[in-house]
Amino acid sequence: MVTSYPLPEGFSEIEVFGIGTALLVQALLGFILNGLTILSFYKIRELRTPSNLLIISLAVADTGLCINAFVAAFSSFLRYWPYGSEGCQVHGFQGFVAALSSISSCAAIAWDRYHQYCTRSKLHWSTSISVVLFAWGFASFWSMMPLFGWGEYDYEPLRTCCTLDYSKADRNFISFLFPLAFFEYLIPLFIMMTAYQSIHQKLKKSGQVKVNTSTPVKSLVICWGPYSLLCFYAIIQDATVLSPKLRMMPAVLAKMSPAVNAYVYGLGNENYRGGIWQFLTGQKIEKAETDNKSH
């Protein structure tokens, strides 16, 4: 019986149920939208381009985040973590690989779009595959470190999902967080900001300001910024003084990223949207162009 398990400290019955429901809705929505993105790439020949492989890398990473959210939602409805400490480590690792690969893929897409719009150079398959392998390999490296003792995975305040433990904020955590944040958040963010700023300037000169270049950067900052701030806050102040509910919000917000990314990079891409429409309805794309246009 679900009622046989006590409520996590600091949460009411309705709050636990609300967080579980939010995680489930985010997971379902992200799973459907990213599934459409992946299936369309597989089925529609015109979409199979080196540039769109970067979008697939993002969709696969975000699907991994959705799986992570499904597990967290299920545990939230149970009101406890049923998979033990080893399961917690696996859940933390899997979520971290997916999250870091997602952020890196966003940066790779920005880098590719910069070349499309500003240098007019096409991405080759060998380069695209190498970028994807590097993004996932680098994400796996940082995600494995807590399993070997550099950093640590532990329960979120709700105690129904696991992530990087920021509650201790000891030397081990600090030495892990700074290079992690630099390589896997600040550098991708810098790449995205400079790439889209350059695209904006280029389009402004040519009078084609129809493309919204600020949305990808905003979506990354909104989804992952609060989580990054919480981790850095833990360095200067004991994060456990914050209420458990407040500390759960960045995690719930970050789980929105799969649905947001699917909208921004899949449905928000004119040509990719045409491919998804063709996959769903069988109607041929009128003009099979493969340049990525972010709206």
pLDDT at residue number 287: 52
Give the number of C-alpha atoms closer than 13 A to the C-alpha of residue 96, restricted to the C-beta side: 29
Which residues of the chain carry a pLDDT beneath 50? 1-3, 288-295
Q: Is 103 helix (H, G, I), strand (E, B) or coil?
A: helix
Distance CA 252, CA 163 (A): 12
Annotate 225-269 with DSSP letters as a single string.
HHHHHHHHHHHHS-GGGS-HHHHHHHHHHHTTHHHHHIIIIIITB
Q: Which pLDDT does position 232 carry in this prediction?
A: 92
Q: Are 228 and 189 in contact (CB under 8 A)?
A: no
Burial 119-131 (b: 16+ CB within 10 A, else e): eeeebeeeebeeb
CB of 218 within 8 A of CB of 189?
A: no
**Residue 253, pLDDT score:** 94
Give the CATH number of domain 11-281: 1.20.1070.10
Cα→Cα distances 92→44, 46, 71, 160, 217, Å: 35, 37, 11, 11, 25
Both tokens of 39, joined, read 């299936």
164-177 confidence digits (pLDDT tens):
999 888 999 999 99
For residue 178 the two structure tokens come to 């700074």
Task: Name, in order, each residue with C-beta under 8 angstroms of 290's C-beta and a sequence gap of 6 or more.
Answer: 46, 47, 49, 51, 52, 271
290 by DSSP, 3-state: which? coil
Instruction: Say if pTM beats, i.e. exceeds, 0.85.
Output: yes
Q: How far is the C-alpha of 59 from the C-alpha of 30, rounded, in Å? A: 9
What is the model's pLDDT at position 9?
Answer: 84
Measured distance CA(290)–CA(204) in Å, rounded: 22
The token pair at 51 is 């540039």
What per-residue confidence (pLDDT) applies to 276? 84
